[in-house]
A and B are shown apart, each in its own frame.
Chain A
């Protein structure tokens, strides 16, 4: 084993402030786990009575084995999704991280960065600063998750939450909203994972903070 002299240890540059503090990383991966469980079990629930027949999800890629099992997964993972989501939102707002990282974001800046990204000219030198496309995408993902939870609550408890029921245009329509909000989330995950693989340092940063 190679020994490092105490003096050199002391003079080594201290680790820079992490790009993602531990609470962000923990809640990010818990959210990823919850979202995967919710989506895969949700697909099985959809299959029990498809909104857009004959479109259905192949049973092999769903979770739960049958409708009853899928419902058990869905209504267990929802606590993780909601509990972790509330933790994330509370911390993000309380620490000012949400405003610091995600704002400002304007349609013009998003358009500019989309064009730059498509021409391969969007730099990722500083991972601690989100470009406008990232800001918009992450904000959309957060809002979409909120819509998913609220439309899900409406489907689950349409009698007990009359205001939500009105907001989503009734029970049947809440299912449609839930479905398309899920689709948007899945689209986000596909792009998000692709981008993380294109810029592996960003994946490392979400794992070890730097």
Chain B
């Protein structure tokens, strides 16, 4: 029955018809709604299995990003500045140690040692410009640790350099700031949490396996952190900045987890 017919019949019927309609609809809809829900479930299950639509969906990506930020906080909570990464012997070193970057080995930047200056910026009150000779004169430590790549492979290497926490303190960095950021000669950029920056095994590395860091491993210096995945360890560092503003990172901005700890 059409709307106009109801009106023609007179308003006194309208109410009854409406309530009747409601009852009938309810009776009809309940099973169909349940059936519909069941179909939705199956459809959802299928979408999950193929993963085609889901992984392109903006809201799903937003959700996954939020979980990744939550995982940053969980990892910061799990992290202990006193817990050391395992160390190994000379015999355990992976030879040859693999080269890895977001570009090929032919595109490795060659930094001129004589004109190089390390720049410190942000919440730093002390010396802001460092020559390589000044950096080489700092207290020296060696470590043989496992480098773990986000891809899953790992390799054991030997790095030498100066403990980063002590260097930050010497440069008058505000060690209560949230982040330490890095700008690199290969246009890479990265940032880490302050507790990891102050971890005893975090090394501003100038040497690899007893000699100066070769270009492919990050000359003139890389930040070596055995408590973080490979992509968190920036090479060819040109500038270090201390900040409370989240700086992100080259891979992190594309979806890798920011904390990236191991």
List A contacts of B86 (CB < 8 A): 159, 162, 165
Secondary structure class of chain A's binding surface, majority of residues: helix
Give B54-85 as 1s and 0s: 1 = Cβ < 8 Å from A's Cβ atoms.
11100000011101100100010011100111
Given A46-B152, A160-B83, A171-B148, A75 and B55 contact (CB-CB distance below 8 Å): no
Evaluate contact between A75 and B150: CB separation under 8 angstroms.
no
Evaluate contact between B150 and A76: CB separation under 8 angstroms.
no
**CA of A46 to CA of B55, assembled, Å:** 18
List B contacts of A49 (CB < 8 A): 149, 151-153
Given A49-B149, A159-B85, A71 and B257 contact (CB-CB distance below 8 Å): yes
List A contacts of B75 (CB < 8 A): 157
Given A48-B151, A160-B83, A72 and B68 contact (CB-CB distance below 8 Å): yes
Total interface residues in chain B, CB < 8 Å = 39
**Is A92 an interface position by the 8 A CB rule?**
no
Among candidates A68, A157, A172, residue contacting B254 with C-beta atoms closer than 8 Å: A68
**CA of A37 to CA of B64, assembled, Å:** 13
List B contacts of A51 (CB < 8 A): 152
Give A115-134 as 1s and 0s: 1 = Cβ < 8 Å from B's Cβ atoms.
00000000000000000000
- Measured CB to CB, the nearest residue on chain B to A170 is B86
**Is A85 an interface position by the 8 A CB rule?**
no
**CA of A115 to CA of B98, assembled, Å:** 52
List B contacts of A71 (CB < 8 A): 150, 255-257
Total interface residues in chain A, CB < 8 Å = 35
List B contacts of A159 (CB < 8 A): 83-86, 226-227, 261-262
- Measured CB to CB, the nearest residue on chain A to B145 is A159
Evaluate contact between B262 and A157: CB separation under 8 angstroms.
yes
Among candidates A1, A63, A67, A156, residue contacting B262 with C-beta atoms closer than 8 Å: A156
- Measured CB to CB, the nearest residue on chain A to B152 is A49
**CA of A171 to CA of B71, assembled, Å:** 20
Q: How far is the CB of B44 from chain A (nearest CB, A)?
A: 9
Given A69-B255, A158-B148, A160-B78, A171 and B51 contact (CB-CB distance below 8 Å): no
List A contacts of B45 (CB < 8 A): 33
Give B149-161 as 1s and 0s: 1 = Cβ < 8 Å from A's Cβ atoms.
1111110000000
**Is B251 an interface position by the 8 A CB rule?**
yes
Give B177-215 as 1s and 0s: 1 = Cβ < 8 Å from A's Cβ atoms.
000000000000000000000000000000000000000
**Is B15 an interface position by the 8 A CB rule?**
no
Give B21-61 as 1s and 0s: 1 = Cβ < 8 Å from A's Cβ atoms.
00000010000000000000000010011010011100000
**Is B222 an interface position by the 8 A CB rule?**
no
Other contacts beyond A51-B152, A64-B55: 18, CB < 8 A? A49-B149, A67-B150, A68-B255, A69-B55, A71-B256, A72-B68, A75-B71, A156-B262, A157-B78, A158-B146, A159-B83, A159-B226, A159-B227, A159-B262, A160-B78, A160-B79, A160-B262, A172-B154
Question: 8 A-B contacts, Cβ less than 8 Å apart?
Answer: A36-B49, A71-B257, A75-B257, A76-B64, A79-B67, A159-B86, A159-B226, A160-B79
A-B residue pairs, 4 tightest by C-beta: A68-B255, A48-B151, A49-B151, A49-B152
